[in-house]
């Protein structure tokens, strides 16, 4: 039985994709876990990070659009969309820009909030220890699908004032999904990201701790150019000797404990 983690925040630029990729890679490389990464962001940054290039095989876009139009998909169809990244040692389902059109189709679909859950069925995910969903910066139908499919939510939060302000809307959506659709949904934790030595960053860390207590992870991720280099070179941070790589190693250990 796999554990499904949604990496989510409706604000962009808070290291969601960097965290999804490096958490998955560290689980696979250092802890020998079988990991599936699922990209549901039309920007497809995770897919690019993983080295995806169009190859004629289906993507998350085709899976979601097909299901939204009322057509059944089989586990074999989903498995045909799974690729493998040698560098991260993970499997993944890529996305592309055409996924942006899914919100319109999903709005009229029957049981639209369970589309992703049906795609990530037990028949597909039972070979994995962890499934990590990289969510788009939105509170729309795709995020609702991710929270419906997930067991746990990991929320990266940039340590800046405006990043904290948007958390309440995500909390409200989390509670609605948990109450009405997915009672097993729980917080994995809030992950402070882009932490630096500025007064603003220290103040944001203090505010997070005061507001959310034990929900805030002990590990935090520093602001570093190494994250951009990792994405450009498609090399997991956890196999480098940089500071932020060590932080993702510690994050993975904490995630395993919390799971």
117-131 pLDDT per residue, tens: 999 999 999 999 999
Contact between 164 and 157 (Cβ < 8 Å): yes
Tokens found for residue 232: 């450009």
Task: Give the separation between CA 93 and CA 82, rounded to whole angstroms.
Answer: 5
Contacts (Cβ under 8 Å, ≥6 apart) of 253: none
Task: Give the separation between CA 152 and CA 162, rounded to whole angstroms.
Answer: 24
pLDDT of residue 168: 87
> CATH number, domain at 167?
3.40.50.300
Q: For residue 59, give its domain range.
A: 3-258
Helix (H, G, I), strand (E, B) or coil at 54: coil
Decide the pairing of beta strands 152-158 and 186-193.
Answer: parallel
Task: Give the separation between CA 83 and CA 15, rounded to whole angstroms.
Answer: 23
Contacts (Cβ under 8 Å, ≥6 apart) of 209: 216
pLDDT of residue 49: 95
How many folded domains does the chain comprise? 1
Task: Give the separation between CA 244 and CA 236, rounded to whole angstroms.
Answer: 11
Extract the residue ranges of the chain whose pLDDT is less than 70: 162-163
User: Between helices 243-258 and 225-233, what is the axis angle to 10°?
Assistant: 80
* Alpha helices by DSSP H, the chain: 16-31, 45-49, 60-68, 75-79, 102-106, 115-119, 122-125, 141-149, 161-165, 167-180, 199-212, 225-233, 243-258
Model pTM?
0.95
Residues 48-90 have pLDDT tens digits of 999 999 998 999 999 999 999 988 899 999 999 999 999 999 9
Buried b (16+ CB within 10 A) or exposed e, 138-163: beebbbbbbbbbbbbbbbbbbbbeeb
Contact between 130 and 5 (Cβ < 8 Å): yes
pLDDT of residue 32: 97
């Amino acid at each position: 039985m796999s554990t499904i983690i949604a990496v989510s925040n409706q604000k962009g630029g808070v290291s969601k994709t960097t965290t999804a990729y490096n958490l998955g890679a560290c689980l696979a490389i250092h802890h020998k876990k079988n990991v599936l990464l699922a990209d549901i962001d039309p920007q497809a940054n995770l897919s690019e990070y993983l080295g995806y290039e169009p190859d004629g095989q289906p993507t998350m876009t085709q899976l979601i659009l097909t299901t939204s139009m009322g057509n059944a998909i089989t586990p074999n169809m989903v498995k045909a969309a799974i690729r493998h990244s040698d560098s991260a040692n993970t499997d993944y389902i890529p996305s592309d820009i055409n996924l942006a059109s899914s919100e319109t189709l999903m709005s009229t679909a029957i049981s639209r909030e369970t589309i992703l859950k049906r795609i990530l069925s037990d028949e597909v995910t039972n070979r994995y220890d962890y499934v990590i969903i990289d969510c788009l910066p939105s509170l729309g139908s795709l995020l609702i699908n991710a929270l419906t499919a997930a067991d746990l939510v990991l929320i990266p939060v940039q340590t800046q004032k405006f990043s904290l302000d948007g958390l309440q809307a995500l909390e409200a959506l989390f509670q609605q999904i948990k109450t009405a659709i997915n009672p097993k949904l729980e917080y994995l934790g809030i992950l402070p990201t882009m932490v630096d030595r500025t007064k603003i960053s220290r103040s944001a860390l203090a505010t997070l701790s005061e507001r959310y207590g034990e929900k805030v992870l002990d590990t935090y991720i520093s602001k570093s150019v190494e994250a951009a280099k990792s994405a450009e070179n498609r090399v997991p941070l956890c196999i480098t000797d940089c500071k932020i790589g060590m932080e993702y190693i510690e994050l993975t250990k904490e995630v395993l404990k919390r799971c």
